[in-house]
């Protein structure tokens, strides 16, 4: 079976791949600057970063799977908050409104071919009360999460609407990823 490198240290992406019977041979997180460029739109950010991660982890004669997920409110890309104040700002912005979760997925094949997908899901938060925001911030679940929340965790209690791929919001759109793998000849179970 050909070697598959996952260019991510995300335990969520690893668990999602396991759902479809895929176990990467190597986990190779990349160290790239994920800062959006001035005036760069959210779709372009996700696509550029997925490409950069795939290229950084590329190894001859292997499959390399890379992805980047961004949370966007309008033209604004929300951060992966590093402080509670940043996480609160994300919750304040998301409360009571819809936003987009965009994931760029890139697969490099051992023969040099490249496949890619850009997947968008629409998510809406209910209007959050101050005590709800405080409880979520106190949980610490926001740490390291794009937009400051994890749909597969406590935030699920506040999601009033989802259109599109749930696995995309978690961090890897499984249908599109499976299509890429099959399309470039990776044997899926």
d(CA 128, CA 130): 7
Please tell me which residue in 31, 68, 92, 111 is annotated as part of the active site.
68
What is the Cα–Cα distance from 148 to 145, expressed in whole angstroms? 5
- For residues 114 and 183, the answer to whether their CB atoms sit within 8 Å is no
Q: Which residues pair with 63 in a beta bridge?
A: 4
Contact (CB, 8 A) for 147 and 90: yes
| 55 noted as active-site residue | no
Residues 6+ apart with CB under 8 A from 160: 124, 125, 126
Other beta carbons within 10 angstroms of residue 140's beta carbon come to 10
Q: What is the dihedral of CA 166, 100, 87, 145, to 10 degrees?
A: 40
Cα angle 37, 11, 86 (rounded to 5 degrees) comes to 45
Residues that are catalytic: 68
């Amino acid at each position: 079976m050909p070697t598959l490198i996952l260019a991510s240290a995300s335990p969520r992406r690893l668990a999602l791949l396991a759902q479809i019977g895929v176990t990467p041979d190597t986990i190779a997180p990349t160290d790239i600057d994920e800062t959006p460029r001035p005036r760069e739109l959210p779709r372009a950010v996700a696509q550029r970063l997925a490409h950069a991660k795939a290229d950084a982890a590329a190894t001859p004669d292997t499959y390399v799977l890379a992805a980047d997920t961004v949370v966007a409110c309008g033209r604004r890309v929300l951060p992966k908050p590093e402080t509670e104040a940043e996480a609160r700002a994300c919750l304040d912005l998301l409360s009571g409104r819809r936003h987009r979760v965009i994931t760029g997925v890139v697969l490099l094949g051992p023969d040099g071919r490249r496949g890619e997908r850009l997947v968008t899901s629409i998510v809406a938060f209910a209007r959050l009360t101050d005590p709800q925001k405080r409880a979520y911030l106190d949980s610490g679940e926001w740490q390291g999460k794009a937009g400051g929340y994890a749909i597969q965790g406590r935030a699920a209690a506040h999601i009033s609407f989802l259109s599109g791929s749930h696995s995309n919001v978690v961090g890897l759109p499984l249908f599109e990823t499976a299509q890429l793998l099959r399309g470039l000849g990776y044997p899926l179970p």
